[in-house]
Amino acid sequence: MAISWELACERLDRAAAMMNDTDPVSVEGPIHIGIDLGTADVVLMAVDGEGEPVAVFLEWTEVVRDGVVVDFVGACDVVRKFVAMAEERLGIEITEASTSFPPGTDARLSTNILETAGLDVTYVEDEPSCVASLLELDKAAVVDIGGGTTGTAIVKGGEIVFSDDEPTGGKHITLTIAGHYDVALEKAEEYKRKAEEYKILSIAKPTLERVSDIVAAHMAGHEVDSILLSGGTCCLPGIETIFEKELKLPVHLPSQPLMLTPLSIASLALR
Asked whether residue 124 falls in the same domain as residue 163, the answer is: no
Residues 110 and 183 reside in one and the same domain: no
Q: Which domain holds residue 179?
A: 137-256
Claim to verify: residue 85 and residue 165 sit in the same structural domain = no
Q: What is the DSSP letter of 6?
A: H
The predicted structure's pLDDT at residue 132: 87
Q: Are residues 251 and 265 in the same domain?
A: no
Same domain, 123 and 23: yes
Statement to judge: residues 121 and 183 lie in one domain = no
How many independent structural domains does the chain possess? 2
Is 176 found in the same domain as 151?
A: yes
> Do 214 and 264 have their domain in common?
no
Tell whether 190 and 208 lie within a shared domain.
Answer: yes
Residue 266 sits in a domain of what CATH number? Answer: 3.30.420.40
- Are residues 121 and 143 located together in one domain of the fold? no
Where b means 16+ CB within 10 Å and e means fewer, 141-164 reads bbbbbbbbbbbbbbbeeeebebbb
**How do residues 53-77 score in pLDDT, each as one tens digit?**
999 999 988 777 656 677 889 999 9
Helices (H) and strands (E) in the chain, counts: 9, 12
Please indicate, yes or no, whether residues 94 and 160 belong to a single structural domain of this protein. no
Query: How far is residue 67's CA from residue 266's CA, in Å, rounded to a whole number?
Result: 22
Q: Say yes or no: 173 and 125 in one domain.
A: no
Cα-only R_g, the chain: 18
Q: What are the tens digits of pLDDT across the range 228-254?
A: 999 888 999 999 999 999 999 999 999
Q: What digits encode the pLDDT tens for the residues 68-113?
A: 677 889 999 999 999 999 999 999 999 999 999 887 788 998 999 9
- The pLDDT of residue 106 is 85
CB distance 230 to 254 below 8 Å: yes
